[in-house]
A and B are shown apart, each in its own frame.
Chain A
């Protein structure tokens, strides 16, 4: 997609319409702050537009946006590290912005915090799969891995998360089931 070779702003805006929520969710589960995630979404699309205007070529706009959002979130995360369960709960972690019981929210926060403690390869694939709702095929396209590798990695990541969560249970006295 390139403004100079036939694509245009309307298409770009269409991409925004289709992907804004997905990119927002991707950012949110990396910075855990609605306002910051919203800013990252804006930055992500603007940077992508700048790239196109500089003559950059993009084969897969979705993958490009995800990667750009990841870069921006990492950058933001360096300035405001927020990866502990305590920090999430302290901030009034509420991913949906619309409730759920306190117990559900706390449970979600514990799982997300446990995911954050995994190594990056497991963490990323679990976030894509369970927090962003992407299927293995889509994750494979975004990450440049084969679908088979993604599926195996998800299974291993879930197993590791289960162990991690069991440790968490001893800290917070909650069941993993």
Chain B
């Protein structure tokens, strides 16, 4: 038994985050710690100090020391609350440039792998689209603000594409396809939400329409690249890729079905139609992928499972959007003429509630064995 346990112990050492997962979580954590959303809101001076020190850390570890140095200089000449205030800045605000050039560049400097860079650029594009959503909700998304957002979306998508190409060149087509799929899904989902939030008869709808057009154009480009990567997944990795993609799609599908069933009574008819349709499509895609696997068409199965995952994700985003913007979900039609199959809000930043118990030292007295 001891030998068996020791063998298992050896094998268990291989249970670890992948490099991409580790980098992704690291970026999310740095972003979280630098944001006012964290407990920093209760002590933002402390967070500011940490932010400054983090920049110094970036300088030490960054492959781009000039950029990191520039950030530190910018921080030194700024005031202590700038970073905090900048996080909520919108296009047209004085601090918006600081948010993009300092807050976000600090995170960029810490994302050292191409995978982490793609995830961060995807997140940055989402942040721009979330800004557009807030502005559209307030009826304040005019053409000038839209132009600022569009320019940044194009830049983030181009940067993501560059890093995706690098991942492809490194022989990691599967990772490139998965990351490209996330980018595509995020862009399409948010575009549809903005469509819901803008008033078609308002002159400011031009701004929303422009942002939607840009997001969809970039989603289209991401789709082409993603498709190329999917085809490039090679034997013997394609079988494993298909299996992993199936598991991921099924997980997303199960989660959205549960959410759909739970929230259905509170959703608009339109959302029920759209989300229900997407779920049905995702289920059909999973069945189709399974059939492809039986005849060992693993690349085809991988692509279809990826598609199912995107559909499930977009259905989830649609349901979340309905709940986040209920007043817009009722009685307003999307700007898109064909707006019947995608939408979204990423719920990664939704407060999950504090279900954590403060750690307490376990009493040794419980040991009575």
User: Is B8 a contact of A145 with CB atoms below 8 Å?
Assistant: no
Distance of A64 Cα from B360 Cα, bound (Å):
9
Contact B359 A64 (CB under 8 A): yes
Whether B49 and A24, one on each chain, are in contact in the complex, defined by CB atoms closer than 8 angstroms, is: no
Q: Does residue A143 face the partner (Cβ distance < 8 Å to B)? A: yes
Instruction: Return the contact of B43 from the options A3, A131, A176 (Cβ within 8 A).
Output: A3
Given contacts A28-B15, A53-B46, A121-B366, contact A68 B29 (CB under 8 A): no
> A13, A21, A43, A112: which has the most chain B beta carbons within 10 Å?
A13
**How long is the Cα–Cα vector from A52 to B248 in the complex, in angstroms?**
34
Is A158 a contact of B9 with CB atoms below 8 Å? no
Cβ of B78 within 8 Å of any chain A Cβ, yes or no, is no
Contact string, B99-115, partner A, CB cutoff 8 A, digits 1/0?
00000000000100000
- 0/1 string, B1-44, CB within 8 A of A gives 1: 11111101101111111100110011011101110001110110
Residue of B3, B57, B356 near A71 (CB, 8 A) is: B356
Q: Does B201 contact A (CB under 8 A)?
A: no
Q: Which of B6, B46, B251 has the most chain A CB atoms inside 10 A of its CB?
A: B46
Tell me the chain A residues, 45-76 only, with Cβ under 8 Å from chain B. Answer: 45-47, 49-56, 64, 67-68, 71-72, 75
Say whether B8 contacts A108, CB under 8 Å: yes
Establish whether residues A177 and B1, one from each chain, have CB atoms under 8 Å apart when the complex forms. yes
Of chain A, the residue at the smallest CB distance from B244 is A97
Query: Are B38 and A46 in contact (CB-based, < 8 A)?
Result: yes
A111 touches B4 (CB 8 A): yes
Which B residues fall within an 8 A CB radius of A?
A: 1-6, 8-9, 11-18, 21-22, 25-26, 28-30, 32-34, 38-40, 42-43, 46-47, 49-51, 53-54, 56-57, 110, 243, 247-248, 251, 352, 354-364, 366-367, 369
Mark A residues whose CB is within 8 Å of B: 3-4, 8-10, 12-13, 16-17, 20-21, 24-25, 28-29, 35, 38, 41-43, 45-47, 49-56, 64, 67-68, 71-72, 75, 92, 95-98, 100, 104, 107-108, 111-112, 119, 121-122, 126, 129-133, 143-146, 149, 153, 156, 158, 161-162, 165, 176-177
